[in-house]
Amino acid sequence: MNNPSSNPLRILVADRGETAPHPELATLKRLGHRLDVVETIDEAAAAMDREAYDIVLMNFGQARAASEDVARLQSRPAGSARIPRIVSVGAPLPDSPATFPSVSWNSLVEQLPELLEQSAVAPAQFVYLHVDPCKAVEAADGDHELVSSLVELYFEQLPSLVSGIRSGIDDRLSEQVERNAHSLKGAISIFGAVGLRQAAYEMEHLGRESRWNEAEEKWLAIERELAVVEPEMRALGRETAAGRKFN
């Protein structure tokens, strides 16, 4: 690894800047690899929209939002560049699935070829942190095409359910809030998404009891949960339609 690489790589480094600059990055540059270094997840997402990278090195540090960060980077909008692998550098990703390799800074340069080989053999698939694809497949009796159809149905129903809850709170319509929150709970239940299901369940009861101040607070929780669930639901629809199997 002391000689310039015959196959220079495009590498994106997402480093939160919580530690001093790493000498390994300078080594990668000397080897001829092109490095783009960013400090925030927003910057990383923007960079990935502009061009394709061979590998993404991500220093999670002690970030509590590491799982959400990964979900954002893996769920690129249609037409965006796809990445072959996200690698956690410095510290393992909290609650990391096996599909996420991790490597120490000291061994990064040495292990880079192995990490790339893993990427070539098994391109990274979307990692689900809130939605449970296996639960959905089980509920559909193993029918992956049905799961894809249920995802489509979820997104067809969602705008009406969400607007029904919001307008019901605004107009103090207990039955409307209860009904739409109950339907939202049912629509998401087979997909896991425990946080959204629980928020909808609690909203259902708050609407029934006309507890409007608490309903306003719970609405914010529903909005947050919808935001984290949406990219995973869209990924589940794409992947089941494309033939990915969940057992």
For residue range 70-102, list pLDDT tens digits in order: 555 655 544 344 444 667 776 555 544 445 567
So what's the pLDDT on residue 16? 65
CATH of domain 133-242: 1.20.120
pLDDT at 81: 43
CA distance 165 to 172: 10
pLDDT at res. 64: 43
Alpha-carbon span 84 to 109, nearest angstrom: 18
Percent of the chain with pLDDT over 70: 74
* pLDDT at site 237: 92
| Among 45-49, 54-58, 74-78, 133-137, the least confident range | 74-78
Task: Note whether 215 and 207 are within 8 A (CB).
Answer: yes
Residues 6+ apart with CB under 8 A from 163: none
pLDDT at 96: 47
Identify the pLDDT of residue 179.
Answer: 98
Q: Is residue 59's pLDDT more than 80? A: no
What's this model's pTM, rounded to 2 decimal places?
0.58
Give the residue among 180, 183, 186, 158 at the shortest CA–CA distance from 167: 180
- Mean pLDDT computed over every residue of the chain: 81
- Cα(222)–Cα(204) distance, integer angstroms: 12
Whether 12 has a pLDDT exceeding 70, the answer reads yes
Q: Boundaries of CATH 1.20.120 in the chain?
A: 133-242
User: pLDDT tier at 137 (50, 70, 90 boundaries)?
Assistant: very high
CATH number attached to the domain at 10-121: 3.40.50.2300
Comparing 64 with 128, the larger pLDDT belongs to 128
Q: How wide is the angle at C-alpha 39 spanned by C-alphas 26 and 46, nearest 5°? A: 110
Which of 12 and 99 is assigned the larger pLDDT?
Answer: 12
What is the arithmetic mean of pLDDT over 137-153? 95
Instruction: Between 56 and 97, name the one with better pLDDT.
Output: 56
Domain with CATH 3.40.50.2300 in the chain: 10-121
Which pLDDT band, with edges at 50, 70 and 90, does 60 fall under? low
